[in-house]
């Protein structure tokens, strides 16, 4: 049994649109137990249904089971109100970040399903008007990758999901590439604790492209050291 605070391990890297204050979210999260509010889920969880439970008292413990898994993650001891990181049973990078209000936790065991759904249009440009689409359009979005942990992130790398269409990445808004694996990804690290680095995403819409109201643009990240 351990204490895992938010902003550590797989939750060390936060992605924001440059100049913004909100994190880019991979998944929408719905479902909770008393005193526990899910804040975010790792993209590795994928869409589906997971489960969250509290175990025993005292000490209070929380566990997370990611979608597709039959195993519960290791119990996380809750000593005070605040934000915690719950890792998956089969994949510790399939985490759930939660906020706990200790006074509202159930006195005994409690369990609930947690529903995860893809969030569309999180990465990429604004809506494209009909005239722009007819002629074709190229837009660039600057992202900020923030290391919110107390440790340096080594080997920080970014790449595109193979299913992404019309996207390219750049570390300097000059040289562009479309890597689809960690091995061919863009090297962005090391990234010191509290520091951030820019990543640019370029979206190209071909002339006469059909409209799409929900675009799933996925960028993957990997690192060590948190």
Work out the average pLDDT over 124-147.
76
Percent of the chain with pLDDT over 90: 67
Q: Are 218 and 203 in contact (CB under 8 A)?
A: no
Mean per-residue pLDDT of the chain: 89
Query: Which residues are within 8 A (CB) of 92 and not within 5 positions of it... i.e. 6 or more apart?
Result: 9, 10, 73
15 vs 137, more confident? 15
- Whether the predicted model's global pTM rises above the 0.75 cut: yes
- 96-100, strands of its sheet edge to edge: 36-41, 96-100, 82-86
**What pLDDT score was predicted for residue 210?**
74
124 vs 92, more confident? 92
Q: Are 126 and 140 in contact (CB under 8 A)?
A: no
Q: Is the pLDDT of residue 126 over 60?
A: no
Pairing of strands 60-65, 76-78: antiparallel
Q: What is the pLDDT of residues 79-104, one digit of tens each?
A: 899 999 999 999 999 999 999 999 99
Work out the average pLDDT over 40-55.
95
Pairing of strands 60-65, 48-55: antiparallel
Other C-beta atoms closer than 10 Å to the C-beta of 141 total: 17
Strands (E), the chain: 13-17, 27-30, 36-41, 48-55, 60-65, 76-78, 82-86, 96-100, 110-118, 137-147, 154-160, 167-170, 186-187, 196-205, 219-224
Q: CA–CA separation, 171 vs 163, rounded Å?
A: 21
Which token pair is 221?
A: 């990240």
Q: CA–CA separation, 109 vs 83, rounded Å?
A: 20
Q: Is the pLDDT of residue 215 over 80?
A: no
Q: Is the pLDDT of residue 123 over 70?
A: no
DSSP letters along 122-157, please? SSS-S---HHHHHH-EEEEEEEEEEE-SSS-BEEEE
> How far, CA to CA in Å, does 188 sit from each of 42, 49, 157, 192?
20, 33, 6, 11
Q: CA–CA separation, 180 vs 103, rounded Å?
A: 46
Q: What is the pLDDT of residues 174-193, one digit of tens each?
A: 999 999 999 999 999 899 99
Identify the band that residue 124 occupies on the pLDDT scale cut at 50, 70 and 90. low
Q: Is the pLDDT of residue 173 over 90?
A: yes
Identify the band that residue 198 occupies on the pLDDT scale cut at 50, 70 and 90. very high
Q: Is the pLDDT of residue 169 over 60?
A: yes
**What pLDDT score was predicted for residue 133?**
63
**What pLDDT score was predicted for residue 1?**
55
Q: Is the pLDDT of residue 70 over 80?
A: yes
Other C-beta atoms closer than 10 Å to the C-beta of 135 total: 10
């Amino acid at each position: 049994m351990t204490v895992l605070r938010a902003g550590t391990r797989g939750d060390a890297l936060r992605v924001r649109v440059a100049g913004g204050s909100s994190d880019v979210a991979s998944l929408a999260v719905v479902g909770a137990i008393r005193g526990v509010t899910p804040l975010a889920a790792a993209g590795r969880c994928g869409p589906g249904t997971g489960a969250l439970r509290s175990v025993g008292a005292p000490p209070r413990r929380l566990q997370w089971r990611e979608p597709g898994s039959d195993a519960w993650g290791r119990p996380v001891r809750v000593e005070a109100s605040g934000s915690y990181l719950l890792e998956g049973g089969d994949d510790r990078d399939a985490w759930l970040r939660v906020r706990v209000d200790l006074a509202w936790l159930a006195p005994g065991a409690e369990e609930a399903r947690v529903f995860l759904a893809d969030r569309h249009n999180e990465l990429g440009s604004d809506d494209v008007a009909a005239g722009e689409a007819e002629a074709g359009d190229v837009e660039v979005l600057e992202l900020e990758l923030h290391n919110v942990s107390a440790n340096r992130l080594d080997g920080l790398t970014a790449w595109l999901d193979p299913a992404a269409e019309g996207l390219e990445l750049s570390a300097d808004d000059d040289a562009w590439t479309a890597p689809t694996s960690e091995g061919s990804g863009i090297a962005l690290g090391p990234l010191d604790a509290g520091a951030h680095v820019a990543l640019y995403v370029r979206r190209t819409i071909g002339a006469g492209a059909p409209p799409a109201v929900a675009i799933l643009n996925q960028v993957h990240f990997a690192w060590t050291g948190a």
